[in-house]
Structure 1
């Protein structure tokens, strides 16, 4: 569990951690990496035993072990933004400033590609291939490199950001006002601030939620699971198949709205 929190650069105080922290930053971490139900459940059971011991020995005031459940229930916690929430978030950065336009660009890249926060923050200017409309991710999970597509609208925004960024000694794509690579922690804090300003409730505002949201929109727009797996960098289809299962109700709503036969009523 410690490694999961460290990779996401989330502070971990083992004696004050909440069940929500464990769900959002450990269980969701395992699920997103395509771990099997058995593996995730085994980890959850181990964590439950650990926290139950801390509670019984008086090291914790709350027994969060009782609030942690096996993966079949926990998978329902994966949340995504609605289109309206995405729109509200994108309106928050002040695009007249460097940092505002940078943050806007980063959100657009996250939404377009679904890449992980660490992958985004590690991008170099040389990873952009505008002619091919691809972004190279050289530091993916497990050290595996891949290329992800990005289309004209997103590419134009990235080009505009590069013009504002200017020529710097560093080749880091996204930098702070000191021309240093932006950290994952700084980006997470920015996202939370924008979420609060937008009045978004009921969903955790984070780069990872953009990743899940990209997957949802991709599936609802008719994208195939095999291509989505390659774009997101999953080793197996397990997580992508879960996305399809998770958003099945949304798919039904879309089908009801765009059903070929239903829309032929006017001519039948």
Structure 2
């Protein structure tokens, strides 16, 4: 069976049976399209059953040396190919029952801590929006919702009026894999959303919550560009800061305030707790700084020397 047909079947499976998000499907399509192009350009086998682990290793070398992909990018593409072959083997209609990708060694990567805004930067950003935005009611409500709920960009873009329950102070998000979750809202967030709803004027009747200045459903690109503009105008922007970092900021601030990690997992909509645990490392940096304020962090040299002598004496006697 040609690998191209298998890829097409796999992407259809993700969309129809798994209910994967458009972003997830697009990511798989890009990675697998690159793999298929590599096979064709290098006159390598195009039948799924003829592709070996050696061919896959050639692909990894190509990714690293010719495309300059970082280890984390290469690791993602390996995961994509493994998922494809897991699907092929499970379906049992392609005559293949072995996944060559399982022979590939795990690629080591350094997991970067997510960039976030400090609490003071969040306050500066939100206060500044009211002075610099051309649509302050919408932008204040939108970015406050980001920071309070920790939602994803696509989740916010796809929100409908029916997803809001301001009386119960909750919002419903449709996350990855079409999984719904209900997140509580603070009183301030509810008031800001109501303030936006009072001036929301669609030019085209729509149930989508957040609209562009033209009265149409706002796009992902529109939200991203709007965040960049607001961040620059309020003085909190720095290279690498994106609207997705508001999600990281929200979850980190909640963790620092003592929210249980299992609760944080539910708020974030993470399927795996290990994804949530990255925020414990971010909070840990703050804990490390706070520990420097420990009353025993600074000891005068005479006292320190005396403590060392006493500890050495105790160790010697124990031994």
CA distance in 1, matches of 2:162, 2:291: 41
Q: How does 1:12-31 map to 2 (within 5 A)?
A: none
- 1:88 match: 124
SS in structure 2 at match of 1:123: coil
1:209 is displaced (CA, Å) by 0.4
Residues 170 and 179 in structure 1, CA contact (< 8 A), matched pair in contact too: no
- 1:149 match: 184
1:130 is displaced (CA, Å) by 1.7
Residue 115 of structure 1: which of 119, 141, 151 is its match? 151
Residue 7 of structure 1: which of 7, 14, 23 is its match? 23
CA distance in 2, matches of 1:160, 1:201: 26
Residue 195 of structure 2: which of 157, 160, 163 is its match? 160
- 2:115 match: 79
Residues 48 and 68 in structure 1, CA contact (< 8 A), matched pair in contact too: no
1:93 is displaced (CA, Å) by 2.7
SS in structure 2 at match of 1:93: helix
Q: Work out which structure has the larger RCO, using CA pairs closer than 8 Å and 6 or more positions apart in sequence.
A: 1
Residues 114 and 212 in structure 1, CA contact (< 8 A), matched pair in contact too: yes
Gap change, CA 1:67 and 1:180, over 3 Å in 2: closer
1:187 is displaced (CA, Å) by 0.5
- 1:236 match: 272
RMSD of the alignment, in Å? 3.5
CA deviation string 1:9-64 (max 9, x = no partner) = 99xx99xxxxxxxxxxxxxxxxxxxxxxxxxxxxxx99863433535xxxxxxx45
Gap change, CA 1:81 and 1:250, over 3 Å in 2: same
Does residue 191 of the first structure (1) align with residue 227 of the second (2)? yes
SS in structure 2 at match of 1:231: helix
1:249 is displaced (CA, Å) by 2.4
CA deviation string 1:177-218 (max 9, x = no partner) = 222111111110111122222333555332210110011110
CA distance in 2, matches of 1:68, 1:136: 32
Residues 48 and 65 in structure 1, CA contact (< 8 A), matched pair in contact too: no
CA distance in 2, matches of 1:47, 1:192: 36
Give the structure with higher Rg (CA): 2
CA distance in 1, matches of 2:70, 2:249: 29
CA distance in 1, matches of 2:240, 2:188: 26
Residue 66 of structure 2: which of 31, 54, 71 is its match? 54
TM-score by length of 2: 0.58
Gap change, CA 1:84 and 1:97, over 3 Å in 2: closer
CA distance in 2, matches of 1:241, 1:107: 24
Residue 226 of structure 1: which of 262, 267, 273 is its match? 262
Gap change, CA 1:180 and 1:238, over 3 Å in 2: same
Task: For structure 2, list consecutive stretches of 5 or more residues without a partner in the other structure.
Answer: 1-21, 32-56, 76-106, 295-319
Deviates more, 1:222-231 or 1:98-107: 98-107
Gap change, CA 1:167 and 1:79, over 3 Å in 2: closer
Gap change, CA 1:161 and 1:96, over 3 Å in 2: farther
